[in-house]
Copies of this chain bind each other. A is one copy, B any other.
Amino acid sequence: MGSPFVSDVPAAQALAAWREARVAAGCPGRVDVVRVPVGEAVGRVSAEPVWAVRSSPAFDASAMDGIAVRSADTVGAAETTPVVLGCDDFEVVDTGDPLPPGCDAVVMREHVHRTADGGAELRAAVPPYQHVRSIGEDISATELLLPEGHRLRPVDVAACAAAGAFELAVRRVPLVVVVPTGDEIRPPAADLAPGDIPDTNSLMLAAQAREIGCAATVTDIVPDDPELIRAVLDEAAARADLVLLIAGSSAGRDDHTARVVARAGSVAVHGVAVRPGHPVVLGTTGATPVIGVPGYPVSAALTFDIFAAPLLAELVGAAPPERPTATARLARKLPSAIGMDDWVRVRLGRVGDQVVATPLPRGAGVLTSLVRADGLLVVPSGVEGHHAGETVRVDLLRGLREIDRTIVAIGSHDLVLDLAASALRAADPLCTLASSNVGSLGGLVALRDGLCHIAGSHLLDPATGEYTLPYVDRLLGADVAVVRLVHRTQGLLVRQGNPLGLKDISDLTGEGVRYVNRQRGAGTRALLDHELARAAIDPDRIQGYAREEHTHLAVAAAVAAGRADTGLGILAAARAFDLDFVPVAEEPYDLVLRTEDLDNPQLSPLWTLLDRADFRVRVESLGGYSCAETGKRIR
């Protein structure tokens, strides 16, 4: 199949090699200088130092509301020996007024007693220059106000205007041209045939460029034809400061990027030791830098952060964007292959006195892992991952104060938690409910280990037929409370019209019935096992019993795609994929937490929400849910 030519160049080395290639190709180190009115300069980067042209204030001014006096006239004034100034010996001044000629000090209005004939009685002597704002106190003409290479903020432009700098030399806004390629790529809103992929990367990359102060345009989608790609690349390079050529950057059949860039200019790097993002291409076309951006959305987003953003900052001579960092305790083991920087997306929340980081799905195609991430954790190429509970440093994608307000739920997934997350945020923009789906048992273990506030559970104990409580007793002991969230109906998800005519659990052993199961530790798995035991059915007789998916929706997706005929799940999951639903059992879904957290203000918005009638109406309208006991403490 031909040997792929994708290397594993460490990121720092890749950046250096690309820089060298850009210098060799004659790429400009900075974009041009333009002069703009100071009012339009916010967000731009200064291209020259800004020196003050005038002083501010431009005159000696009163710093208070009161009266301007000659300090010499007040010598000797005291409580017992007040001095009275005649009405010609002072002048009433407001804050900011110029000091009248001859005056050298100001007395605050509160310390002046006006006499009947318009004089002013002072009960304290006044030192020279009291409450006087001296000329140049803020800015002295000719002083350096701002250095070159400074990204201008509102206070900066105000200071420039005060200092008489009405036009500023700044760097031109760099232009990024995004070129999407691929026969299978369609505009996002197009009707998609099987195999078609919506071009969401162009939207994202252009927005990323604009977010850091650049201009961005997106070309039409270019088919997988090297000649066509070359033509569009040349045209883009002629007007862009950076070209982002999307997809086709791995070494598969349709991956022309590296070859096209090599022919149009030079390839400095093909393949970096970064995951996701490995098959990136760094090169030049003419005197324009080009990045071949991998097509997986997480790879594309991180490629922008790691390679495009530093270059674009360099082109305007500014410091690259920097994310604040924090330390966090890792909620679970995080293996990582040696030889690659591993960019892991994590959810963060404060549990007790520590920030806990829960790794999100790591696939390069799982864009929602970036959407849901509160932080990025880089496992460097020399490190083989981290143990659960290890302290790690993360780059923050959300503010710590927001993270401090986050309710961390780990356990079984339920749509009601999603609904609650949205309702909580709507009521208070600082309130977040973050749930990670690891199954009921995994949630109880996470609660035991201090990694979450709440574990969502619907674990059936086969011995007692009771839900959750026996497990809580065994795993967690005394200081734990259990609050009912909902009752919900579990059933068999089947294709429209129930083509195999399944009626209950006993039909799962039927000839040719392909089942898709949930993972061990999932409440739905325990429910199946319980129902099988009640019906005395041997699990080995079910084809697909060993095949595991991790969420209700994944089970529904497998049935919808025809990879399986049925699986146990909730009604809402069936509705999501237009499936039919054969009810099997009603079960309680409960929230388990430490008793002390019942009074934790971080969690109180959730209890308030569960009491709201409108919220209960919305839950029941999802179908398959009952709120009869919602919010009730059952232990």
**Which chain B residue has the least Cβ–Cβ distance from A154?**
B207
Q: A92-B253, A134-B558, A396-B324 are in contact. Are A158 and B418 (CB under 8 A)?
A: no
A205 smallest CB distance to B (angstroms): 8
Q: For residue A426, which residues in chain B have a CB less than 8 angstroms away from its CB?
A: 49, 147-149, 317
Across the interface, A557 reaches (CB within 8 A) one of B134, B252, B558, namely B134
Contact B140 A65 (CB under 8 A): no
State in angstroms the CA–CA spacing of A201 and B203 once bound together. Answer: 36
Across the interface, A211 reaches (CB within 8 A) one of B42, B200, B575, namely B42
Q: For residue A211, which residues in chain B have a CB less than 8 angstroms away from its CB?
A: 42-43, 153-154
Q: A194-B98, A554-B134 are in contact. Are A425 and B158 (CB under 8 A)?
A: no
**Which chain B residue has the least Cβ–Cβ distance from A132?**
B563
State in angstroms the CA–CA spacing of A557 and B56 once bound together. Answer: 11
State in angstroms the CA–CA spacing of A97 and B142 once bound together. Answer: 64
Pick the interface stretch among A81-89, A231-239, A365-373, A490-498: A365-373
Q: Count of chain A residues with Cβ under 8 Å from any Cβ of B?
A: 132
Contact B368 A144 (CB under 8 A): no
A565 smallest CB distance to B (angstroms): 14
Whether a CB of chain B sits under 8 angstroms from the CB of A462 is: no
Contact B94 A145 (CB under 8 A): no
State in angstroms the CA–CA spacing of A98 and B193 once bound together. Answer: 10
Q: For residue A317, which residues in chain B have a CB less than 8 angstroms away from its CB?
A: 426, 429
Q: Please give the count of copies of this chain that the complex contains.
A: 2
Whether a CB of chain B sits under 8 angstroms from the CB of A322 is: yes
A residues with CB within 8 A of B: 1, 4, 38-39, 42-43, 49, 54-61, 63, 65, 92, 94-98, 104, 109-110, 112, 114, 128-129, 133-150, 153-159, 161-162, 166, 184, 188-189, 192, 194-198, 200-201, 203-205, 207-208, 210-211, 250-255, 295-297, 301, 313-314, 317-320, 322, 324-325, 363, 365-368, 370-371, 396, 399-402, 415, 418-419, 421-422, 424-426, 429-430, 432, 547, 551, 553-554, 556-558, 560-561, 563, 572, 575-577
A sample of 23 cross-chain residue pairs with beta-carbon separation below 8 angstroms, ordered by A number, consists of A39-B203, A42-B210, A42-B211, A61-B195, A92-B253, A95-B250, A96-B184, A135-B557, A137-B554, A140-B557, A142-B575, A144-B418, A147-B421, A147-B432, A148-B425, A154-B207, A157-B207, A159-B200, A159-B368, A161-B188, A318-B429, A319-B399, A324-B396
Q: A4-B110, A49-B426, A57-B197 are in contact. List 17 more A-B contacts (CB 8 A).
A: A38-B203, A39-B203, A42-B207, A56-B198, A58-B192, A59-B194, A95-B252, A136-B557, A138-B368, A141-B576, A142-B576, A143-B553, A148-B425, A153-B207, A158-B207, A322-B402, A324-B399
